[in-house]
Amino acid sequence: MKKLLAILIFSCLGALVNGPAWVAEEGPSPNEALLKTLAINRSLLAEYELELMKLKQDSAARMTDALARQLENSRYKIKALSEESKKLRAALTAREEAQEFIKDLLLKTTVEQVAKRRIAPPPRRVSPPAIATALAAPSPSPAPISVDRPAPKQPPLPPPVAETPDRMHERALRLVAEQKLDKAVKIYEDLVLSNPDDDQAYVIMGHCYLLSGRYEKAEQAFQNAVHIDPQNAEEITPFYQNIVFRNPDDDRAHGNLGYAYLIIGDVLKAQEAYRDALAINPKNERALEGMRLIAELKSDSPGNQ
């Protein structure tokens, strides 16, 4: 999937903010009206995304002024609706926001699946003359069966149908929502083995690695995602910014944000985040290591040699 869902998996927010797992809330949510509006927006966004994909396909064949206006209008609707949904999600609880983000991810997978079916060429149809010829062909006479001949063996069962990448994505996202990051990572590792250009898998896998403390693997996964699509670099940090916004006194949140900035090469912002972490907790190992790494990078720069 070319367009990345980056912004880490908000379901992991529950592990960082509310403990290792979340349970279903009892009773109606005070944000029920907001959740209904978000559900409506999600449905409209799916419709607009499909419309945009179709317009892009048409414009690739032949661009016209009318198509250009339709493309601009479609992009505007998607942007406006996305911004409205973003503001609404900011008023939700961390648990509700996690659940909403998972719904968005699953719906996006479905939208892209539908788009693939629409864009795919129709199956080849056999022409009527060919069908008639095939039907008119004489069938081979069946071989006589001896009374003493043993019954033929049953053919072996066909091998199980391989799971599609879309299904694997859905299964992995559900595991992320359940805080089973190691199991989710295993699925994403299988996905990138079969499809090395799956930048979505690399980004989500990178977030899971980072939150699990496997920083070298996180860096490698994020770099692979950026190599596939440079725009992914802009979509790695928002999740960590959101955690810091919700937990300004959490030195771990600032440390994770600094590491995310460092991965995409924004040294100044990484340094600022690490300083914020150390101001809260001078013994934050991640921030201390990050500051040491930044010092090494600066000492190795051409201006200091």
Give the three-class secondary structure for 94. Answer: helix
- When pLDDT is averaged across residues 72-85 and rounded to a whole number, the result is 88
At 150 the pLDDT is: 61
Q: Which residues contact 215 (CB under 8 A, 6 or more apart)?
A: 209, 259
Q: What is the pTM of this model?
A: 0.52
pLDDT (tens digit per residue) in 89-106 = 888 776 677 667 666 766
Residue 91 DSSP label:
T
Q: What pLDDT was estimated at residue 277? A: 96
pLDDT at 114 over 70: no
Token pair for residue 9? 């998996």
In the chain, what percentage of residues exceed pLDDT 90? Answer: 16
Supply the pLDDT for residue 25: 41
Q: Give the pLDDT band (50/70/90) at residue 148.
A: low
CA angle 22, 12, 88 (to 5 degrees): 85
